[in-house]
Amino acid sequence: MMASFCLFPWLYMLLVSLNDRPDFLGTQGSIGLSGGHYLAVLTERSLHFLDYLRNSAIVALSSAALGTVIAALAAFAVTRLDLPGKAAVLFFVLAASMFPQISLTGYLFRLMTRLGWINTYQGLLFPYVAWTLPLSLWLLVSCFSQIPKELDKAALVDGCTSWQVLWRVLLPVARPGIFAAFLLSFIAAFNEFLFALMLTTDHGARTVPVGIALFQGLHGEMPWGDIMAASIVATAPIAAIVALFQRHIVAGLTGGAVKG
Amino acid sequence: MMVRIDNLSKRFFSLRGEVAALRGLSLDIHDKEFFVLLGPSGCGKSTLLNLIAGLDSPTGGQIWFDDAVMADADRGVCLSPRKRNVAMVFQSYALYPHLSVFDNIAFPLSIAGMRKDEIAEAVREATDMLELADLLAAKPAELSGGQRQRVAIARALVRKPSVFLLDEPLSNLDAQLRASMRTELKSLQRRLGITTIYVTHDQVEAMSLGDRVAVLHDGRLEQTGSPQELYHRPANAFVGTFIGSPPMNLFEASWREADGRPHVEIMNMRLEIPLHLGQRLRALKGASFLLGMRPENIHAHFSTSSPLGLMATVRSAERLGRETLLHLARGEHRLTALTSAGDFTEGAEISVEFDWDHAHFLARSER
Amino acid sequence: MRDRGILFILPLLAFVAAFIIVPICGAFWNSAFQDIGYLQTRFVGLGNYRQALSDPAFRQSLKFTIIFIAVSVPLELALGLAFALILDLDLPFRGALRACVLLPWAIPTAISARVWELIYGYGYGLANALWTGLGCGGPVNWLGTPWRAFGSLVAAEAWKTTPFVTIILLAGLSAIPRDLYSQAKVDRANSLQIFWRITLPLLRPAMLVALLFRTIDALRVFDVIYVLTHGGPGGSTTSLSLYAYKYFLNGDFGYGSAISVALFLVAFAFSLAYVRLAGYCRALA
């Protein structure tokens, strides 16, 4: 029952996307299966769906990668190096993660306009990195602080520089946590809506959520079949990630939130 | 390699203020020596080991390896561990969980940039020595405690360090394994002839392993000496009670000479003591001191009257197998005696006799 | 390992400062100006805030946002707790079940909102198919009246965010030592008593965390409303975020900033209150 509660909208999405007519429930009958909507979404250039997908993939992947690296360096500093005001930094970053996005978008829009970054990848990339950093930092700090300090000492005595301690010992040992941070940042960036809505104007940089939200028919009536087919294509990778890596995701969510 | 510690001190700064972990400590550790740092937890022994390794920098004093200065607080010198050629074994073993046994042992060599074939050769030598050859592909999580211990030792010895540091390496093992690792470690150290500094809180370990033992307490050195010296000639009450099991009895005592014979007063009783001990008592300035008596030097008799007149009540008898440890009471005073003689029942009145040749006259410590 | 900490944390601080802190300060700054695209920018001090206080549309969106939080967050907590309790049992296919529960959380809100839009669709949507199929009456316009739109939004939001609550509470549940349950059974507590006297009190820290995160998240709700109702009908479901967004869209950066600053202050106050509350709970325990 629980599973069906979680799944039914998605299954419905699947059903509509495969159907000729969106109103098949109303007409009590003919469920004509067809892949026509998928064909349209994937081949019709004027729908720009593939552009959105590419933009999303590029922006989400690169911001997750960059954000995870930056957060890992920072978590190393917080847990292992002398740093005045560690607690203040952590608190400040946690507080930053609670700021409403809308409070940032007004200024960001003008900043990006001035930089000429509206509707560019970097215009989304940088805010996304900043936006996902707090969560990654908290997650990686709790991950790093679970690695015993004696391991660092052993590495130092074995002749490592502090850089080698990070690179050859901490990062490999923390790999599950780093992967979780990457996954969570990726999902967060892939799902982000408001920044993408404000900072993009067309298929040059527009991401999938905005693309699908603004998807209008060419002829008045909503092309529900196409929208749902696009939604399926866009969410299938996410669903696959969830199915494959749910353990990492759960660990990441609880590590980042509960310890915080 | 000779290690010299000169007036070393270490203060930590925490939110609760300044904490002194070491207060001006000096030590000389000889070449090829098995040297043990012994003390209760919080005495500063692990801090000292970290300072020797270079994992931490001293706030005062110097550390020398032979003629090379490793750390000098006054000149702001503190070499990093990688420049000291020390190896260390930790209580938790600190094996790299993501690396196989082979890669764990090879790690210090590969950091040093050694060639692949040289590494393989060195690792093979170390693993043969520690009988690990069958486990090379295993990950640390798959090993037993004793095996992990061996890997940690192999990793430490593989690059032939000048100083070998061990921080309570045996305390996570069960009693039987601990005893066998002890003998093995000792013979390994003899064979390789590496200057070894071993930290422990376990006096049995210290006595059985150390060529010399340094007893630390509250950041200060209490006494340095061979295990025999520490046992038979403790410098103060702390060393006396810390070394030896069951622990030494301590009595508040004062002495005087009456009729030209030395007397000691303990537990509200005046006891006459052999003449030659008077010399030693005279050396203790002041009339009051602590009298230390190990339980094995207190003899218990069934007789209801003692020639020396020291009577006590048996509170309980702890049977240890070959011997029995008697917990005795005399008024409000408590003492223990070790005896091999038969059945002492609880509540029995017995007489006790001190073996004065093994008496320790200890100055009251200032702390 | 000395003095190098700053170097490693600098990139993080730079990013957070440039793209979070500076924009927030910028919003504060802008909110003190009349700053509309085609007009001369003019300093108005607190004028924008004064305008907001007397603006019925602002009060409406404030009211909506508060009621939205008050209804949806407790609902999510209750559902999430139920799910967590189920997932904590030793069921077969636990992994697959967990993946199912995670799915709504992982799908972009904008996309799932599109599905809800279709579900609520007049005439042919799933909701109406069920409604009429169960014989409850004729087709209903689920987004047509303020209250129906509100209910539909809460349902969509609860579906989307219950997984997060579930995961947090599940972690809290698995942190409760099993021995406690055995002890309680030995003490002859029945399962309801065990739940009330042991599970719930020990779950309180996790509940608090979930409550904190959900409240702050619901406070800034935007995506689902933007797609489903666009604030309608008649502005009745305009959240504060959406309200500010509409001003930004019209080029009124002064007033929009003032609203977003107000929202920021409320969110900040919430988070501070919760942090204090959490500290208080820890002090009690």
Q: Are A176 and A248 in contact (CB under 8 A)?
A: yes
Domain boundaries, chain A: 49-207+232-257
Q: What is the CATH classification number for the domain harbouring B165?
A: 3.40.50.300
Does residue B298 share a domain with residue B200?
A: no
Cα A64 from chain centroid (whole Å): 7
* Other Cβ atoms within 10 Å of C246 Cβ, number: 18
Confidence of residue B263 (pLDDT cuts 50, 70, 90): confident
The more confident residue out of B11 and A96 is B11
Q: Does residue B272 lie within any of the structural domains?
A: yes
How many Cβ pairs closer than 8 A exist between chain A and B? Answer: 61
If you search the block for the tokens 């050195």, which residue do you land on?
B221
Task: List all residues of chain A from 117 to 156 with a beta carbon under 8 Å from chain B.
Answer: 148, 150-151, 153-156
* Contact residues, chain A, for B171 at CB < 8 Å: none
pLDDT exceeding 70 applies to what percent of chain A?
88
Instruction: Evaluate whether the domain defined by C57-284 bears CATH number 1.10.3720.10.
Output: yes
The rounded distance, in Å, linking the Cα atoms of B335 and B304 is 18
Residue C285 clears pLDDT 70, i.e. is over it: no
The rounded distance, in Å, linking the Cα atoms of C76 and C85 is 14
How many Cβ pairs closer than 8 A exist between chain A and C? Answer: 284
Q: What is the CATH classification number for the domain harbouring B303?
A: 2.40.50.140
Residue A25 clears pLDDT 60, i.e. is over it: no
The rounded distance, in Å, linking the Cα atoms of A123 and A173 is 34
Confidence of residue B367 (pLDDT cuts 50, 70, 90): very low
3-class SS letters over chain A: CHHHHHHHHHHHHHHHHCECCCCCCCCCCCCCECCHHHHHHHHCHHHCHHHHHHHHHHHHHHHHHHHHHHHHHHHHHHHHCCCCCHHHHHHHHHHHHCCCCHHHHHHHHHHHHHHCCCCCHHHHHHHHHHHHHHHHHHHHHHHHHCCCHHHHHHHHHCCCCHHHHHHHHHHHHCHHHHHHHHHHHHHHHHHCCHHHHHHCCCCCCCCHHHHHHCCCCCCCCCCHHHHHHHHHHHHHHHHHHHHHHHHHHHHHHHHHHCCC
Residue A260 clears pLDDT 50, i.e. is over it: no
Residue A21: per-residue pLDDT: 61
Confidence of residue B339 (pLDDT cuts 50, 70, 90): confident
From the list C26, C107, C114, which residue is nearest A107 (CB)? C26
Q: Does residue B367 lie within any of the structural domains?
A: no
User: Out of A30-44, B1-15, B205-219, which region has the weakest mean confidence (pLDDT)?
Assistant: A30-44
Segment C47-60 mean pLDDT: 88
Confidence of residue C1 (pLDDT cuts 50, 70, 90): very low
A171 in B contact zone (CB under 8 Å): no
Q: For chain B, what is the domain count?
A: 2
A135 in C contact zone (CB under 8 Å): no
Residue A100 clears pLDDT 70, i.e. is over it: yes
The rounded distance, in Å, linking the Cα atoms of B45 and B38 is 7
Q: What is the mean pLDDT of chain B?
A: 88
Per-residue pLDDT tens for A207-244? 988 988 887 755 556 777 788 888 888 888 888 888 88
Last residue of a domain, one of B211, B242, B273: B242
Segment C100-109 mean pLDDT: 87
Confidence of residue B307 (pLDDT cuts 50, 70, 90): low
A71 in C contact zone (CB under 8 Å): yes
Residue A144 clears pLDDT 50, i.e. is over it: yes
Confidence of residue B309 (pLDDT cuts 50, 70, 90): low
Per-residue pLDDT tens for B350-366? 888 888 888 888 876 65
Confidence of residue C88 (pLDDT cuts 50, 70, 90): confident
* Contact residues, chain A, for C269 at CB < 8 Å: none
Burial of B254 from C-beta contacts in 10 A (0-12 / 13-18 / 19+)? middle
Closest chain B C-alpha to A150 CA, distance in angstroms: 6
Interface mutation vs chain A, best among B84, B92, B165, most A CBs within 10 Å:
B92
The rounded distance, in Å, linking the Cα atoms of A125 and A9 is 30
Residue A258: per-residue pLDDT: 46
**Are the beta carbons of A150 and B91 separated by less than 8 Å?**
yes
DSSP-assigned letter for residue C252: B
Does residue B259 share a domain with residue B229?
A: no
Does residue B273 share a domain with residue B232?
A: no
Range of the domain at B348: 249-362
The more confident residue out of C90 and B314 is B314
Beta strands B68-72 and B269-272 are unpaired
Q: What is the mean pLDDT of chain C?
A: 84
Residue A53 clears pLDDT 50, i.e. is over it: yes
* Contact residues, chain B, for A160 at CB < 8 Å: 82, 111
Residue A24 clears pLDDT 90, i.e. is over it: no
The rounded distance, in Å, linking the Cα atoms of A223 and A229 is 10
From the list B81, B95, B99, which residue is nearest A156 (CB)? B81
User: Do the interacting molecules here have an ipTM over 0.90?
Assistant: no
Residue B4 clears pLDDT 90, i.e. is over it: yes
Residue B90: per-residue pLDDT: 92
* Contact residues, chain B, for A150 at CB < 8 Å: 90-92, 94
The rounded distance, in Å, linking the Cα atoms of B249 and C218 is 70
Confidence of residue A20 (pLDDT cuts 50, 70, 90): low
State whether residue B250 is helix, strand or coil. strand
Segment C227-235 mean pLDDT: 83
Segment B86-105 mean pLDDT: 93
Residue C116 clears pLDDT 50, i.e. is over it: yes
**Are the beta carbons of A161 and B82 separated by less than 8 Å?**
yes
Domain boundaries, chain C: 57-284
Confidence of residue B239 (pLDDT cuts 50, 70, 90): very high
Q: What is the mean pLDDT of chain A?
A: 83
Chains contacting A (3 or more CB pairs within 8 Å): B, C
Segment C199-213 mean pLDDT: 85
What CATH number should be reported for the domain whose range is A49-207+232-257? Answer: 1.10.3720.10
**Are the beta carbons of C108 and A77 separated by less than 8 Å?**
no
Does residue B357 share a domain with residue B269?
A: yes
The rounded distance, in Å, linking the Cα atoms of B225 and A212 is 81
Confidence of residue C146 (pLDDT cuts 50, 70, 90): confident
Does residue B106 share a domain with residue B31?
A: yes
The rounded distance, in Å, linking the Cα atoms of C111 and A66 is 26
pLDDT exceeding 70 applies to what percent of chain B?
95
From the list C4, C13, C100, which residue is nearest A7 (CB)? C100
- Tell me the two tokens of residue C262: 């107000």
The rounded distance, in Å, linking the Cα atoms of B146 and B193 is 23
The more confident residue out of C176 and C278 is C176
**Are the beta carbons of A148 and B92 separated by less than 8 Å?**
yes
The more confident residue out of B194 and C232 is B194
Per-residue pLDDT tens for B143-175? 998 999 999 999 999 988 999 999 999 988 888
SS3 content of chain B, % helix, strand, coil (to 5): 30, 35, 35
**Are the beta carbons of A6 and C100 separated by less than 8 Å?**
yes
Chain B interface with A: residues with Cβ < 8 Å: 50, 53-55, 80-82, 86-88, 90-92, 94-99, 107-108, 111-112, 155, 165
Sign for the pseudo-dihedral over CA of C213, C216, C220, C226: positive
Residue C283 clears pLDDT 60, i.e. is over it: no
The rounded distance, in Å, linking the Cα atoms of C93 and C101 is 12
